[in-house]
């Protein structure tokens, strides 16, 4: 478009006026706000954590719908409703969802958005879907996006080749996943020079460092290692990096003895061995440990001796998912629990030897011999572990087993899921709780490297199926009385390999599994708490009203030692005050290997229905100053394990409580166990022991079972209750 000039002045004048007008117009434009830039939507869902209401096959998991592979798919059970959801890792502006249906598609479904994975709003609804590839325009801000199928189009379930969410992130810079494993992780391969020298150096540092700050993880790549004797001290974990224990073989030993403590192994705590095969030099490997020292996923091609050289005292212990070709000799071990394993034989026992799902275990004979044997473990899921897939680090997350017997790895490839290290935030010393929580909010799992971590706020695990795995006894200390670790009422969280150390300011709780009032059903995908140990005092003053609270239904507590210190630094009746050890409010909670000791009041309280405990070990608080200090109304003392009167169904196997009131040996305890007398409340193989006559029990459970007496340290037992 053109126009004629309004006057006939010189061309130069007309040009100048035009330039001035253009400049003025440009200046005015500069003052007008520009429309906001709009980022092009990108694919946010690929490779992100995905969960589903069900899956039809082991290979048709939720993750297959977000892996970017058009040849893999998620498929559900053949019922309505079913859902598939993806965690984007951070809040995002969601603009479209692409569904690539297999032949089994949804006739009616909803696309739903959520900021927390719990509260959902509908962004799209249809009842006339025709399957195929569908692109759905949506609008909203969300971290979680879900397809909720309400009516199937076929007799089959719901099946998606791909579930793709497009949009733009609304949060700030993202934390990276993966990376190196930090300074206190030592990685070896068979060609590494001076392996024995490096192992000996770590042992010199850690042999007697019971309350030191050193933390070490020793990792061995697949292969064969000869002439090895790995002596394992405090806060030291040794592991193979194969997918099977037999991938990493020692022609040698992994040894724990008690020379540092004059042959007494009762303080050989906080160390572990996992995922290795051993050909012991003498034919028998020595593993003389007490609490918090798991022996997991091990193959001993010979015997296993659980006593120190000289057969001094020992107070262990725990074996799981292991195969011992020869005989296990506990000798001086006071108690032991073995789960889902295979043994060539078992020679003896002192007070309380418990087996569940163990091939070759001795038959029940409690109290003489002191064996309690369950043919299978009702529900179990092995601990996640780090391994190498070629040159790439991954974490294997074993599948749930029901009615388990024997190892999970002896018959072909283990069942479970592999997660690349890039999906983990690798936590290193110096990391703050805020950073750790940011990583969790992004959808990353956590891998704590060996170290001591102070937190000024709770670490909050809010996403289903999050893995929180510690290496080398990574230790979390809550500052200013906060709770160290909180888990939401979601499916399938795995907490493993952590030590939580109470701070000097009293914490109401240290670990919470589910919030108060949690009620969701997690039977298909329970949260597991494995090798999570809690300490109050010993390394310095510490206080906590209740150490661990389990509110979520179906939780599995698989090997924990919750300990109010009776030695070290910062301990005393009020100095490391801790009234309650473990409190269970959730229903259908299972504890396999429950060690809880020395609390000022109840060590374990159980309020949930249908709870089960397989093996319990307890010592009452040594340091009670007098009878009045432990008086519980008209009852003398607080039971070690109390089932609330409101509970109708509960069962336990192989439970023992010991007293050693050395400050005032005249103290008497009414009973070790307290439970309502109801048909559904049952116990098997209960014992109480007075250690050398320092205090006495009047009964075993309620008013059942004879008293302990004298200094003979002979248990009083009840074989079955009621």
The residues annotated as belonging to the active site are 619
Residue-level length of the chain: 722
What is 267-332 written as a DSSP string?
Answer: T--SEEEES-EE--TTSEEEB---SS--EES-EESSEEE-S-TT---B---EEES-EEEEEEE-TT
Q: How far apart are CA 343 and CA 326, in angstroms?
A: 7
What is 95-123 written as a DSSP string?
Answer: EEEEEEE-SS-EEEEEEEEESSSSS-EEE
What is 236-248 written as a DSSP string?
Answer: EEEEE-SSSGGGE
The dihedral sign for the CA sequence 657, 660, 661, 667: positive
Q: How far apart are CA 529 and CA 421, in angstroms?
A: 21
Q: How far apart are CA 595 and CA 291, in angstroms?
A: 8
Residues paired with residue 594 on neighbouring β-strands, in sequence order: 560, 616
Which of 575, 669, 685 lies closest to 630 in space, CA to CA?
Answer: 669
3-state secondary structure of 260: helix
Q: How far apart are CA 41 and CA 5, in angstroms?
A: 48
Burial of residue 317 (CB within 10 Å: 0-12, 13-18, 19+) is: buried
DSSP state of 538: B
DSSP state of 694: S
Strand order across the 385-389 sheet: 385-389, 392-398, 416-420
Q: How far apart are CA 170 and CA 176, in angstroms?
A: 17
Could you tell me which residues come within 8 angstroms of residue 22 by beta carbon, excluding any fewer than 6 positions away?
Answer: none
Kindly report the backbone phi and psi dihedral angles of residue 65, in degrees, each rounded to the nearest multiple of 5, phi listed first: -85, -10
Could you tell me which residues come within 8 angstroms of residue 674 by beta carbon, excluding any fewer than 6 positions away?
Answer: 639, 641, 642, 643, 701, 702
DSSP alpha helix (H) spans, 192-233? 195-206
Q: How far apart are CA 70 and CA 242, in angstroms?
A: 30
DSSP state of 231: E
Contact 378, 402 (CB under 8 A): yes
Q: How far apart are CA 287 and CA 304, in angstroms?
A: 7
DSSP state of 63: G
């Amino acid at each position: 478009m053109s126009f004629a000039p309004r006057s006939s002045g010189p061309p130069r004048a007309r040009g100048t006026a035009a330039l001035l007008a253009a400049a003025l117009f440009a200046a005015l434009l500069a003052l007008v706000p520009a429309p906001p830039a709009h980022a092009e939507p990108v694919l946010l869902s690929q490779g992100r954590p995905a969960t589903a209401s069900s899956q039809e096959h082991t290979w048709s998991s939720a993750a297959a719908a977000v892996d970017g592979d058009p040849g893999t798919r998620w498929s559900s059970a053949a019922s309505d409703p079913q859902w598939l959801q993806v965690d984007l890792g951070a809040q995002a502006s969601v603009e479209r969802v692409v569904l690539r249906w297999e032949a089994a598609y949804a006739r009616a479904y909803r696309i739903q958005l959520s900021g927390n994975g719990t509260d959902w709003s509908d962004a799209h609804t249809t009842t006339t879907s025709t399957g195929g590839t569908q692109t759905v325009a949506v609008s909203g801000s969300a971290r979680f996006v879900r397809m909720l199928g309400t009516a199937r189009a076929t007799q089959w379930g719901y099946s998606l080749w791909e579930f793709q969410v497009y949009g733009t992130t609304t949060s700030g810079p993202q934390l990276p996943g993966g990376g190196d494993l930090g300074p206190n992780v030592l990685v070896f391969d068979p060609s590494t020079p001076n392996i024995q020298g490096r192992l000996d150096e770590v042992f010199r540092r850690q042999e007697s460092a019971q309350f030191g700050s050193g933390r070490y993880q020793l990792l061995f790549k697949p292969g064969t290692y000869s002439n090895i004797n790995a002596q394992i001290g405090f806060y030291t974990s040794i592991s193979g990096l194969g997918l099977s224990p037999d991938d990493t073989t020692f022609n040698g030993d992994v040894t724990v003895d008690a020379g540092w403590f004059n042959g007494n192994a009762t303080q050989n705590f906080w160390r572990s061995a996992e995922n290795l095969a051993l050909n012991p030099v003498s034919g028998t490997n020595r593993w003389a440990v007490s609490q918090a020292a798991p022996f997991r996923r091990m193959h001993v091609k010979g015997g296993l001796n659980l006593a120190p050289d000289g057969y001094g005292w020992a107070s262990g212990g725990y074996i799981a998912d292991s195969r011992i070709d020869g005989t296990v000799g506990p000798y001086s071990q006071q108690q032991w629990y073995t789960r889902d394993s295979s043994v060539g034989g078992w020679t003896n026992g002192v007070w309380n030897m418990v087996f569940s799902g163990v091939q070759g275990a001795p038959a029940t004979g409690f109290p003489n011999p002191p064996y309690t044997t369950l043919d299978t473990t009702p529900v179990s899921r092995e601990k996640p572990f780090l391994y190498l897939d070629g040159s790439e680090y991954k974490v294997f997350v074993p599948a749930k087993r029901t009615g388990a017997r024997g190892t999970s790895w002896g018959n072909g490839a283990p069942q479970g899921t592999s997660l690349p290290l890039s999906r983990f935030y690798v936590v290193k010393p110096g990391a703050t709780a805020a950073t750790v929580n940011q990583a969790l909010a992004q959808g990353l799992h956590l891998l704590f490297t060996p170290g001591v971590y102070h937190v000024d706020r709770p670490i909050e695990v809010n996403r289903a199926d999050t893995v929180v795995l510690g290496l080398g006894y990574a230790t979390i200390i809550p500052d200013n009385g906060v709770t160290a670790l909180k888990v939401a009422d979601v499916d399938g969280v795995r907490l493993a390999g952590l030590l939580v150390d109470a701070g000097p300011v009293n914490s109401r709780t240290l670990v919470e599994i589910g919030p108060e009032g949690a009620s969701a059903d997690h039977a298909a995908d329970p949260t597991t708490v494995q090798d999570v140990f809690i300490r109050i005092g010993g390394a310095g003053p510490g206080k906590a009203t209740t150490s661990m609270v389990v509110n979520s239904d179906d939780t599995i507590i698989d090997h924990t030692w919750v300990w109010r210190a009776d030695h070290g630094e910062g301990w005393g009746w009020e100095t490391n005050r801790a009234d309650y050890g473990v409190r269970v409010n959730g229903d259908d909670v299972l504890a396999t290997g429950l060690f809880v000791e020395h609390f000022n009041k109840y060590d374990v309280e159980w309020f949930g229905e249908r709870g089960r405990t397989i093996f319990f070990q307890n010592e009452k608080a040594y340091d009670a100053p007098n009878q009045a200090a432990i008086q519980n109304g008209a009852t003398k003392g607080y039971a070690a394990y109390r089932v609330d009167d409101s509970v109708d169904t509960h069962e336990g196997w192989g439970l023992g409580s010991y007293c050693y009131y050395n400050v005032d040996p005249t103290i008497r305890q009414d009973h070790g166990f307290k439970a309502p007398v109801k048909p559904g409340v049952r116990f098997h193989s209960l014992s109480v022991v007075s250690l050398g006559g320092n205090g006495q029990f009047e009964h075993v459970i309620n008013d059942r079972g004879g008293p302990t007496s004298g200094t003979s340290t002979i248990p009083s037992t009840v074989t079955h209750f009621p």
